[in-house]
Structure 1
Amino acid sequence: MDANELLKKIRKIEIKTKGLSQNIFAGEYHSAFKGRGMTFSEVREYQYGDDIRDIDWNVTARHNHPYVKVYEEERELTVMLLVDVSGSRQFGAVGEEKRQMTAEIAATIAFSAIQNNDKIGVIFFSDKVEKFIPPKKGRKHILFIIRELLYFSPEHSGTNIGEAFRYMTDALKKRCTTFVISDFIDPSDYYNALSIASNKHDLTAIQVYDKRDAQLPDVGLMRIQDLETGAMRWINTSSSKVRQSYNKWWYERQQAMIQRLNRCRVDFASIATDEDFVKSLMGLFKKRGPR
């Protein structure tokens, strides 16, 4: 892809996602992900009912009258996107490729963060951490992130979500608002890493999946390939037993994912590639509400 085509594609996704974040998500994002910390603002005279632990004794001594410290909510957030770049993101049978929808969702969140004067960073992961983009502000930084979302080429094709959680927990000391965007097709048990990360950071999970991930079509003998391992096999999709077995596998995987997220009190949304992700994100933000 030449430079002009690259710029056109980046510009196209910028126009679409920036418009969404400005016109639709700005208020919902601010309400759902406002700052959790408290920072010193000013001192004022003590009033009946104030907590005596907030008394500023130095100012009180100077004025011979009690004064208290006033704190306000720390507005600025550090937002991290944990983006799955494993081989399965290239799959696209119904609707967009998972890769494209993931990029659009991540870009929309990134623009929403920038409009609220938040810093935004990214961790790309497969079965290892592929790339870390430290949190920064500004349009130039956002456009760099969009380019990487669209065209980053990972070294590995497997999935290990727990590795991404462990890396973030070690690398980021300050509490972050974190969005994990993945199809969550992961053979490993990431519960412990998720639990530790959710205690330190404010996590939200967004599952992007293709409906053919969840259900096999009845099209006869079909050759399939695992995009993460490269393994290929023939399956008879006309067999009701085969389809039922596959449906059961997907259902059990989904239930395990939901159970892990619920146990760690992580809000989540599942979005199919042929659905409107705007509606799902709005629902997710409203579910979080002002906290």
Structure 2
Amino acid sequence: MDLSTSKHFDGVHLSLDELIYYKQQSVSWLPPAKSLWSQMLGQHQSRQLGRGMDFTEVRQYQAGDDVRSIDWRVTARTGKPHTKLFTEEREKPVILYLDMGRSMYFGSTLMLKSVLMAHMASLIAWLSVAQQDRIGAVIDTGHELIELKPTSRNKGPLSLIQTLVHRHEINISQPQNSQFHTGQPSDISTALLALNRLCPKGSEIVMLSDFVRFTPEHQTLLTRLRQHNRVRMIHISDPLEQGQTHYRGVEQVSNHHQTQWLNFASRKARNEIEHAFAVKQNALQELAHSLGISFASLSSGQPLLQQLHGYKHDHNF
């Protein structure tokens, strides 16, 4: 089934059925199948990026123990081989940063960037609780933060998707009655500070955004977040932002700060848009890699599952 052809999907609004759909899809990414993250990273073994292992104790080596787990310091000190014992990490908090700022409500082809973000958030949420992790979120509307504490079992994903559907509908249907289109959006540093406060050490933090409000000045807060947690960045964009469009007319465009006319019939204009996008994305990716943060990109021009199953390995994540 392709969600993009479902009666529950129109690419603009969100529905509970549309996001609950990903509960059944999460099974595809459970062990022993290839993990979601290893698929996007192009890894052949999901163990490398799978659940963490907590160190418990050191005991004397026994026949059959993995030689790679030998503790050489204790072995040298005692003169007898010793091995490290680990237990699989349980109930790891997974915290999503979900950008619902103004720039996310844009889509030129299949869906809004905000809709794609909600689809990915739902898939991660259902997959997390299926692996006995807890799911929480910081939802950034650009004017306020909505914090959802990490919760296990179905309650976590259901609370998350209900909040997303409700908030998304307000911003789509009644922008004139909210602060959605008025005033200057808040700095992303507010959300990064909230993540530092909300996330217990050892959390997995997944940031889903177009990162329009992100600047190099936020590197310090991101570094602090990375010190005690695993952080992933998923950059969400629209084909038009990359200069990819079949439209060949002249149109007025705005980035909420300035407005200008663009001639999409001009190859030069389209190339300039593509170049500007590539420069910004490359800078974001280089910053992420310099901090040890994994980076991936998704496009609102394709259904989510189609992108994940056909993810090219040159999109290093």
User: TM tier, shorter chain?
Assistant: 0.7 to 0.9
Residue 250 (1) aligns with residue 277 (2): yes
Q: Which amino acid aligns with 1:77?
A: K
- CA distance in 2 between partners of 1:216 and 1:278 (Å): 21
- CA distance in 1 between partners of 2:250 and 2:156 (Å): 48
Gaps of 5+ in 2: 1-7, 9-13, 37-45, 63-69, 76-81, 172-178
- CA distance in 1 between partners of 2:71 and 2:201 (Å): 29
> Would the alpha carbon gap of residues 288 and 257 (structure 1) be closer, same or farther in structure 2, given more than 3 Å must change?
closer
Deviations 1:25-77 (A, max 9, x none): 1121584341343357xx97x447777869xxxxxxxxxxxx99954232321
Q: Which amino acid aligns with 2:166?
A: Y
Structure 1 equivalent of residue 238 of structure 2: 210
Residue pair 1:39, 1:74 contacting (<8 A) in 2 also? no
Q: Which has the larger displacement, 163-172 or 198-207?
A: 163-172
Q: Percent identity of the aligned residues?
A: 20
Q: Specify the SS of the correspondent of 1:95.
A: coil
Structure 1 equivalent of residue 127 of structure 2: 112
Select 1:20's aligned residue among 17, 25, 30. 25
Q: Within 5 A, what are the aligned runs for 1:52-91?
A: 70-91=85-106
Structure 2 equivalent of residue 9 of structure 1: 15
Q: CA deviation at 1:137?
A: 1.1
- CA distance in 1 between partners of 2:113 and 2:213 (Å): 15
Structure 2 equivalent of residue 64 of structure 1: none
> Would the alpha carbon gap of residues 156 and 169 (structure 1) be closer, same or farther in structure 2, given more than 3 Å must change?
farther
Select 2:145's aligned residue among 130, 150, 169. 130
Residue pair 1:80, 1:179 contacting (<8 A) in 2 also? yes
> Would the alpha carbon gap of residues 35 and 159 (structure 1) be closer, same or farther in structure 2, given more than 3 Å must change?
farther
Q: CA deviation at 1:182?
A: 0.8
Length-normalised TM-score, structure 1: 0.76
Q: Specify the SS of the correspondent of 2:260.
A: strand
Residue pair 2:236, 2:298 contacting (<8 A) in 1 also? yes
Structure 2 equivalent of residue 262 of structure 1: 289
Length-normalised TM-score, structure 2: 0.70
Q: CA deviation at 1:10?
A: 0.6
Q: Within 5 A, what are the aligned runs for 1:121-200?
A: 121-127=136-142, 130-152=145-167, 153=170, 155=179, 158=185, 160-186=187-213, 188-189=215-216, 190-200=218-228
Q: Which amino acid aligns with 1:213?
A: E
Q: CA deviation at 1:83?
A: 0.5
> Would the alpha carbon gap of residues 139 and 238 (structure 1) be closer, same or farther in structure 2, given more than 3 Å must change?
same
Q: CA deviation at 1:128?
A: 5.8
Question: RMSD value over aligned CA atoms?
Answer: 3.4
- CA distance in 2 between partners of 1:68 and 1:258 (Å): 39
Q: CA deviation at 1:12?
A: 3.4
Residue pair 2:93, 2:200 contacting (<8 A) in 1 also? no
Q: Specify the SS of the correspondent of 2:15.
A: helix
Residue pair 2:210, 2:236 contacting (<8 A) in 1 also? yes
Q: CA deviation at 1:120?
A: 0.4
- CA distance in 2 between partners of 1:266 and 1:183 (Å): 16
Structure 2 equivalent of residue 60 of structure 1: none
> Would the alpha carbon gap of residues 225 and 69 (structure 1) be closer, same or farther in structure 2, given more than 3 Å must change?
closer
Larger Rg: 1
Q: Specify the SS of the correspondent of 1:37.
A: strand
Gaps of 5+ in 1: 55-66
> Would the alpha carbon gap of residues 215 and 70 (structure 1) be closer, same or farther in structure 2, given more than 3 Å must change?
closer
- CA distance in 2 between partners of 1:174 and 1:284 (Å): 32
Q: CA deviation at 1:172?
A: 2.2
Residue pair 1:207, 1:269 contacting (<8 A) in 2 also? yes
Deviations 1:79-136 (A, max 9, x none): 0111111111110112111111111110011000111111000001244651110001
